[in-house]
């Protein structure tokens, strides 16, 4: 067993003990499609998501997004943490996805040590309500597009292992922060 994997498992055990609200593979809520949310309900869930993601990041040093179903809620929202900033996505809708795709070995906070090589659109346009209750429509590419699609899938009851071939599922062995987008598998 390599050092990275052993260290990952130790940190995962701490997360299990200290962040009990996280749902994991096998929990039926991860397969549920979320419902449209009022801003008031969604903002409460987003604040809780931010708190849980911050706690996970403090323990593990990783984690860039968390969706409502990952803490047992069916409100239609998720949060991201990129460039030292939390952003809220309430009632998101992907309006456009590029035909150009890329590959990335994704891990998921609900999948433990499992990583999957997943193909996604290179760019998207998404509409959402932000944390200040502003309706927005923005385009994202690269890593941002991938992260948003991953979290958005959670809101539709899709986990990354549903978007890959069984041969492309493995146990984490390298630092996920060093993973790069690729044009080919």
Q: How far is CA 95 from the centre of its chain?
A: 19
Nearest alpha-carbon partner for 22 in 75, 85, 67:
67
Q: Is the pLDDT of residue 1 over 70?
A: no
Q: What percent of the chain has pLDDT over 70?
A: 99
CATH class of 21-99+123-162: alpha beta
User: Region 5-12: what's the mean pLDDT?
Assistant: 87
User: Region 35-60: what's the mean pLDDT?
Assistant: 97
Over the stretch 103-135, which tens digit does the pLDDT of each residue have?
Answer: 999 999 999 999 999 999 999 999 999 999 999
Give the predicted TM-score (pTM) of the model: 0.95
Known catalytic residues are: 151
Spatial contact of 69 and 34, defined as CB atoms under 8 Å apart: yes
∠ CA(156), CA(160), CA(166), 5° rounding?
Answer: 130
User: What residue ranges do the domains of the chain occupy?
Assistant: 21-99+123-162
pLDDT classification of 146: cutoffs 50, 70, 90:
very high
Task: Give the model's pLDDT for residue 66.
Answer: 98
């Amino acid at each position: 067993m390599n050092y990275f994997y052993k260290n990952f498992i130790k940190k995962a055990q701490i997360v299990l003990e200290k962040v009990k609200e996280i749902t994991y593979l096998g929990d039926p809520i991860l397969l549920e499609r979320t419902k449209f949310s009022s801003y008031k309900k969604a903002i409460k869930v987003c604040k809780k998501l931010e708190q849980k993601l911050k706690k996970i990041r403090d323990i593990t040093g990783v984690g860039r997004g968390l969706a409502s179903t990952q803490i047992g809620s069916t409100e239609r929202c998720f949060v991201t943490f990129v460039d030292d900033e939390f952003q809220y996505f309430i009632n998101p809708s992907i309006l456009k996805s590029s035909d150009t795709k890329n590959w990335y070995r994704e891990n998921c906070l609900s999948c433990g040590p499992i990583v999957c090589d997943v193909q996604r659109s290179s760019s998207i346009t998404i509409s959402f309500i932000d944390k200040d209750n502003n309706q927005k429509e923005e385009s994202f590419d690269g890593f941002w597009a991938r992260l948003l699609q991953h979290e958005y899938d959670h809101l539709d009851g899709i986990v990354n292992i549903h978007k890959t071939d069984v041969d492309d599922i493995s146990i984490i062995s390298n630092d996920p922060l060093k993973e790069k987008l690729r044009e080919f598998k």
